Amino acid sequence: MGQLTGPTDPAADAGWGDVKPRKGFFTDTSICIGCKACEVACKEWNRNPRDGDLELLGSSYDNTGALGASTWRHVAFIEQGKDRIEAARESGRALIDLGMPAVPAPSDTDTRPPDTPEFRWLMSSDVCKHCTHAGCLDVCPTGALFRTEFGTVVVQHDVCNGCGTCVAGCPFGVVERRSDGTYATSERQSDRLAHEFVTGVAQKCTLCYDRLVEDEIPACAKTCPTTSIKFGNHDELVERAKERVAELHAQGRTEARLYGANEHDGVGGIGSIFLLLDEPEVYGLPPDPRVCTADLPTMFKRAGLAAAGMFGAAAVAFWRSR
């Protein structure tokens, strides 16, 4: 049993001898234009089928809805007016004031935010977080979910028996059991195209494991026209994210904040970090996720106590009746 909480290198913790640098995404939502090319590239590469009926959801330009078994990238669209913009700027400032890295001292230059003050459109491409402590992986009974040498989390669809425990185990609502079918990705796309029907099993973003082993970058990052989705070594991405958020703060855009770049958070940091322009829940992300297995020692203790109590109750019931 590996480490359940706190900072760690997930691949080394999982027992990989030959650990590669941890890979991940940095999704900078401040430069996302909502083109959904990532959604398309992901679907095409991974051969994921259509998700549900084609319907207009009435949520701005988002007709995808949410991440799911067949949707491994999801672009969120949020339309906000003046009040929300100010609230976001204020909540961001409160975050900065928490004693975390300070905003550069105000200078004489014009630092008024460059965006329109009355209206803004937030767009963010969501994806599996590839957590340091992944709830889905830890609760999987079959070992179908595993930690790769790149520190990412991948489902082996041919091992998964579709028990669905991982679905409930994910604090971000990413993994889902697929109820319709598709063709599996082949590890060697060039040699053969595996036409395999995949259904009834858990599915989620693999961070394009099949591309990583060939030294390719994930399809979504490759296709992103604005480099909003950046792929690379996790540590370097965290550094870049910190630089970028400082840059935005210096422009007076205090609403900018990082999500998942803190290895001391409830999931030990995540592989796919985000730069957000409002509170995480506005984007459908949990504000304080905690991996369920972090409390496993407590749960084992309480369950042991309860089982002992049941045993004791039965002993009392029979003892007195002798």
Partner 1 sequence: MTTSEFDSLRPPEPTGGKRRRNGKGKGRRAVADGSREMPMVPEAEFSSYYGRPVVKPAPWGHEVAAYLFLGGVAGGSGLLAAGAQLTGRTKLRRNARLSALVAVILSAAALVKDLGRPERFVNMLRTIKLTSPMSLGSWILSSFSAGAGIAAAAEIDRMTGERLPLGPLRPVLRAVEGPAGLEAGLFAPPLAVYTAVLLGDTATPTWNAAHEDLPFVFVSSASLAASGLAMITTPVAEAGPARKLAVLGVLGDLTAMKVMERRMDPVAAEPLHHGDPGRLLRWSERLVIVGGLGALFGGRHRGAAALSGLALMTASALTRFGVFEAGKESARHPRYTIEPQRRRLAARRAAGITDDSITTAG
Tell me if 73 contacts partner 1 by CB under 8 A. Answer: no
183, β-bridge pairs = 197
From residue 71, alpha-carbon distances to 33, 44, 64 in Å are: 19, 11, 8
Question: Site residues for partner 1, window 249-288 (CB under 8 A)?
Answer: 249, 257-262, 264-267, 270, 276, 278-288
Tell me if 33 contacts partner 1 by CB under 8 A. Answer: no
Residue selected from 44, 81, 86, 90 as contacting partner 1 according to rule CB under 8 A: 81
* Tokens (6 digits) for 62: 């988002």
Residue selected from 18, 118, 191, 215 as contacting partner 1 according to rule CB under 8 A: 118
3-state SS assignment for residue 146: strand
Contact between 267 and 124 under an 8 Å Cβ cutoff? The reply is no
CA 187 to chain CA mean position, Å: 23
Tell me if 311 contacts partner 1 by CB under 8 A. Answer: yes
* Tokens (6 digits) for 114: 């460059």
Tell me if 305 contacts partner 1 by CB under 8 A. Answer: yes
Residues 6+ apart with CB under 8 A from 85: 117, 120, 255
At which residue do the structure tokens 């679907």 appear? Answer: 43
The stretch among 9-17, 75-83, 147-155, 184-192 that binds partner 1 (CB under 8 A) is 75-83
The stretch among 185-193, 210-218, 229-237, 304-312 that binds partner 1 (CB under 8 A) is 304-312
Residue selected from 147, 178, 230, 253 as contacting partner 1 according to rule CB under 8 A: 178
Tell me if 7 contacts partner 1 by CB under 8 A. Answer: no
For the chain, strand residue ranges (E) read: 23-28, 73-81, 119-127, 145-147, 153-155, 176-177, 202-203, 229-233, 257-259, 272-276
Question: Site residues for partner 1, window 234-253 (CB under 8 A)?
Answer: 242, 245-246, 249
Tell me if 15 contacts partner 1 by CB under 8 A. Answer: no
Question: Site residues for partner 1, window 41-70 (CB under 8 A)?
Answer: 52-53, 55-59, 62, 65-66, 68
Tell me if 26 contacts partner 1 by CB under 8 A. Answer: no
Residue selected from 44, 117, 161, 236 as contacting partner 1 according to rule CB under 8 A: 161
Site string for partner 1, 179-198 (x = CB under 8 A): x-------------------
Q: For residues 28-57, b (16+ Cβ closer than 10 Å) or e, as one string?
A: bbbebebbbbbbebbbebbbbeebeeeeee
Tell me if 117 contacts partner 1 by CB under 8 A. Answer: no
3-state SS assignment for residue 121: strand
The stretch among 20-28, 31-39, 96-104, 184-192 that binds partner 1 (CB under 8 A) is 96-104
DSSP states of 301-319: HHHHHHHHHHHHHHHHHHH
Nearer to partner 1, 211 or 260 (CB): 260
Residue selected from 100, 187, 226, 227 as contacting partner 1 according to rule CB under 8 A: 100
**Size of site (CB under 8 A) for partner 1:** 111
Nearer to partner 1, 96 or 213 (CB): 96
